[in-house]
Amino acid sequence: MSGSLNLLPASYADFRRTAERRLPRFLFDYIDGGAGAEVTLRRNTADWEAVQLRQKVLVDASAMDCSVELLGEKLAMPMVLAPVGMGGMTARRGEVQAKRAADKAGIPFCLSTVGICPMEEVGQVSQTPFWFQLYMLKDRGIVQEILDRAWAQGVRTLAFTIDLAVLGTRYRDIRNGMAGGLGPWGRFRSGALDYALHPGWAWDVGLRGGPHGFGTIARYVNQSKNPRDYLHWTGTQFDSSVTWTDIEWLRAVWKGNLVLKGVLDVADAKQAVAIGADGMIVSNHGGRQLDGVASTAAMLPWIADAVGSETTLLVDGGIRSGQDLVRALALGAKAALIGRPWVLALAAGGEAALTRYLALVKQDMRTALGLSGAVNARDVGPQVLLRD
């Protein structure tokens, strides 16, 4: 979990550096990378950093409170661990470890359709409900069965991803053989050689952490033995024809909270409200889909002005610190999701490292609240921002 000279990690960047050393190259790049030239990936973080907080002094900060209410749950801070495909490959049974860390931090964990651990395994961690993220498959019977299984596991909030009509072009995955690669050398480099260069991961996760399929959908996938086989299957089964009519069908069959993940347009946000979604996540898929689109920090105020009073608004993409959580609240979100940070913290040192990272985020948020004059997270608004 420590960095150079055995220093304790103090920020997301520290965990990321350790994760880069520990993970096989193909896996680190799959998680860390974005689409195309990664312009949007960089914008996501840079635009949050550009949002300036307003420092206020002599405000009583003795009773600070980071907690919020979100979709019927009380959260210790306005954060959700976002669904990350193959996130469980970064540590042994990674999603299980992440769920335990989220429980301790008092925040929700959202399991991906293409997570490594099946929902039944994650559900055994505790009685605390988790969220589930759904991709629409061509076989609606499978989708209905997955929803029924999720409900039986206590899932009451479904995050449906709507920005995957086609898969983004991710140069890092191509170079590493995850998306075609450069022939036999690309596949070899992202396989045996890469594992040999990272023996700790190869032993703990590669050999002891199986099975390595997409656990929730494994029963529907024939003759697939590893994540690459599963990725190929999902590439043929994800439904590119999904429209708002399919959202209407999903709204009719899902009894719990329905949150649409991938809204980046005001008109789409209004349509999501009209169709009966309980919430939406302002998201560009972490910069992994269409490169060159706006950052979520840039779009959040526009969408909040349009529909913020009518829905539960969340945001993801580039959130790295407790200061970013305060910025997100100030721009109109009720909470934020983090993806890469939790996965890379897990890679850096398992559940203990992720627990430390989440504690650092909360402490950082307390600092931002205490010095911006809004000591209660539920009171954060534009007043904490320095406006031009």
The two three-digit tokens of residue 347, written as one number: 């890679």
> What domains can be seen in the chain, in order of their start residue?
37-170+209-384 (3.20.20.70)
With contact defined as beta carbons under 8 Å apart, do 276 and 251 qualify? yes
Cα 350 from chain centre: 17
pLDDT at res. 71: 97
User: In this structure, are strands 110-111 and 68-70 parallel, antiparallel, or unpaired?
Assistant: unpaired
pLDDT at res. 226: 62
pLDDT at res. 176: 84
As a whole number of angstroms, the distance between CA 203 and CA 91 comes to: 11
pLDDT at res. 228: 64
As a whole number of angstroms, the distance between CA 340 and CA 362 comes to: 17
pLDDT at res. 193: 78
With contact defined as beta carbons under 8 Å apart, do 328 and 315 qualify? yes
For the question of residue 285 being annotated catalytic, the response is yes
pLDDT tens track for 256-307: 999 999 999 999 999 999 999 999 999 999 999 999 999 999 999 999 999 9
Positions of the chain with pLDDT lower than 70, given as ranges: 1-6, 179-191, 223-232, 235, 388
User: In this structure, are strands 157-161 and 335-338 parallel, antiparallel, or unpaired?
Assistant: unpaired
198, 212, 232, 285: the catalytic one is: 285
pLDDT at res. 184: 38
pLDDT at res. 22: 96
With contact defined as beta carbons under 8 Å apart, do 260 and 272 qualify? yes
pLDDT tens track for 162-197: 998 888 889 998 888 776 544 433 444 556 778 888
